[in-house]
Amino acid sequence: MNPIVEIEKVSKQYRLGDVGTGTLSHDLNRWWHTIRGKEDPYLEVGDVNDRSVQGNSEYVWALKDISFNVNPGEIVGVIGKNGAGKSTLLKLLSRVTAPTTGTITAYGRIASLLEVGTGFHPELTGKENVYLNGAIMGMTKSEITDKFDEIVEFAGCARYIDTPVKRYSSGMYVRLAFAVAAHLEPEILVVDEVLAVGDAEFQKKAIGKMKEVSQDQGRTVLFVSHNMGTIKQICNRCVVLEKGQVKFDGDVVEAINLYNRKDIAEGEANKMSISIPLEKNNYPDEVIFKQCTLMEGNHVASDEVSDINEVSVVIKGEIIKPNRNLIVFVSLFDEYNNLISVNDVFENSNITPEDLVPGEFTLTAKLPVDEFLPRNYRINISSVIHYQGWALKEDEINFDFRFIKTNFSHPVYSESNFPMTGKSKPGYLNTSFNWELVYEKN
């Protein structure tokens, strides 16, 4: 099968700082090399796209030597951290900007939805923008007219179709923009993270439409999202970008597992001990969180744990001034970032905030390992003081681990319980659970 999109050694370089291609001296230097038939001298410089590190060059490679092909009818997911180069790649595919080096060849019309209201003129009505967008994609007026009623029905904005789109909400913008992109029969549909703006009903419709245009109509979709559940649901292939380069290209589940675990793997041993010192305390006059540790038996756990030993989350800290409004949450997520369980540690134990007294404390939450299935998981620790604010922000403490199942003797795992499928019980956990907590005070 011949590919419908060919990406060969594509790189994109940006200059940091002031807007522009560079100083006059840089432009003259480029021109002098060009007329002598030599390569752009600034292609030899530039840092990798690591946004967390102060680089030594004013040039940065948003993408560096990207190569892969996309076949007709594929839905290819593109995932990676913020700043990995996903949106830059889609902009290059959509011809919003040109690559610094390399070539992109697309055999067919491309419809792009890169941000809310892409290609819309705010002063024109929804109807006028439908025709304008269709014309930009190379559709004739009669082709757009034939699809117009379907577009309006799918977008669900018939009442506002003759209203200037500058008065639309962001959700209405996305509804109409996606409807236009999906219904005007482009061979290649490029969609960035904008679907997250829509409501749940529209997201379901949009996902169904992308499946339809791929499976039934043989069109190609490139889809960027941070929602791993959606990526797994609709994509049949996935590309992982990291610092502007292709880290992985292949099976969707393998790609998601790599994406979820790469933070642990970067610069660390394969077996990383999970014990996080807490340096930030937003209410140090009332409570100080000092350490959060994942324990396996009597030892600090690595990023792989099993059901051989007891596994628990241990939070250490100090109460300076007891506050009955203190709440501590332990949340559990699956490998696709779906929330499995969130637990108020005081609500699910015999300890209450009123029991807290000044002094150091240890909160221990025991994980019900018998209920876990072999998967990747993420635990998040957060705390608030009600009516005041975050004592420990929800994005400060996260750690990932993989659960290894060794004992499948539990009756719920028996294949005889599922004769229709011949498989053990699906899902991530066998049942709901509460946390067992121990409060130790001076």
For residue range 204-246, list pLDDT tens digits in order: 788 888 888 888 888 899 998 877 777 888 888 999 998 889 9
Least confident of 126-130, 166-170, 279-283, 325-329: 279-283
pTM of the entire structure? Answer: 0.57
Distance CA(160)–CA(357), nearest Å, equals 59
pLDDT confidence tier of residue 2, bands split at 50, 70 and 90:
confident
Distance CA(139)–CA(133), nearest Å, equals 9
C-beta separation of 171 from 197 below 8 A: yes
Tally Cβ neighbours within 10 Å of residue 262: 16
Q: According to CATH, what is the number of the domain 275-417?
A: 2.70.50.60
* Strand (E) or helix (H) holding 202: helix 200-215
pLDDT score, position 260? 65
For residue range 355-394, list pLDDT tens digits in order: 778 888 888 877 877 777 777 888 888 888 877 787 777 6
- Alpha helices in 227-361, H assignment, sequence order: 228-234, 252-265
Distance CA(240)–CA(258), nearest Å, equals 8
C-beta separation of 381 from 315 below 8 A: yes
Superfamily assignment of 65-263 in CATH? P-loop containing nucleotide triphosphate hydrolases (3.40.50.300)
Domain with CATH 2.70.50.60 in the chain: 275-417
Torsion of CA 314, 320, 321, 325, to 10 degrees: -30
Distance CA(341)–CA(63), nearest Å, equals 38
pLDDT score, position 430? 41
User: Tokens 């994942």 correspond to what residue?
Assistant: 294
pLDDT confidence tier of residue 197, bands split at 50, 70 and 90:
low
Domain with CATH 3.40.50.300 in the chain: 65-263
